[in-house]
Amino acid sequence: MIQKHLGLASFLLGTLVATSYAAKTVNVEGSRAKLAAWFSEAGAPFSAGLLMMGAGAWLTRRQHSQASYHAPGGTRHSPETTLKRIENAVASLPEPVPERASELHRALDEILERHVPEFLEARTALIEEHGLLKFAQLMSPFASFERYTARAWSALIDDSYDELRESLVHARQALAQTFKEYPGELAGHPSPRSTR
Burial readout 22-61 (b: 16 or more C-beta within 10 A, e: otherwise): beeeeeeeeeeeeeebbeeebeeebeebbebbeebbebbb
Domain ranges, residue 62: 1-67
pLDDT for 47 equals: 73
HSE of 99, CA atoms in CB hemisphere, 13 A: 1
Based on the fold, state whether residues 16 and 97 are members of the same structural domain.
no
Based on the fold, state whether residues 61 and 105 are members of the same structural domain.
no
Helix, strand, or coil here: 97? coil
Based on the fold, state whether residues 21 and 60 are members of the same structural domain.
yes
pLDDT for 183 equals: 74
pTM for the full predicted model: 0.59
Residue 16's CB is within 10 A of a number of other CB atoms, namely 18
Residue 128's CB is within 10 A of a number of other CB atoms, namely 10
Based on the fold, state whether residues 164 and 98 are members of the same structural domain.
yes
pLDDT for 133 equals: 82
Based on the fold, state whether residues 99 and 175 are members of the same structural domain.
yes
Based on the fold, state whether residues 162 and 183 are members of the same structural domain.
yes
| Alpha-helical runs (H) found in the chain | 2-22, 31-38, 44-66, 79-91, 101-110, 116-120, 123-130, 132-157, 161-181
Helix, strand, or coil here: 38? helix
Look at residues 10, 42, 67 and tell me which one is the last residue of a structural domain.
67
Based on the fold, state whether residues 88 and 132 are members of the same structural domain.
yes
Based on the fold, state whether residues 62 and 80 are members of the same structural domain.
no
pLDDT for 165 equals: 96
Domain holding 136: CATH number?
A: 1.20.120
pLDDT for 196 equals: 42
Based on the fold, state whether residues 86 and 52 are members of the same structural domain.
no
Look at residues 67, 85, 115 and tell me which one is the last residue of a structural domain.
67
pLDDT for 129 equals: 80
pLDDT for 59 equals: 60
Domain count, the chain: 2
pLDDT for 58 equals: 61
Q: For the chain, 196 residues long, give each residue's pLDDT as a single digit of tens.
A: 455 556 656 666 667 666 665 656 656 666 676 667 656 766 677 677 667 777 766 665 555 444 443 444 444 667 888 899 999 999 999 999 999 999 999 999 999 999 999 888 888 888 888 888 888 888 889 999 999 999 999 999 999 999 999 999 999 999 999 998 887 655 445 444 444 4
Look at residues 67, 82, 117 and tell me which one is the last residue of a structural domain.
67
HSE of 175, CA atoms in CB hemisphere, 13 A: 29
pLDDT for 137 equals: 85
Based on the fold, state whether residues 79 and 41 are members of the same structural domain.
no
Based on the fold, state whether residues 166 and 184 are members of the same structural domain.
yes
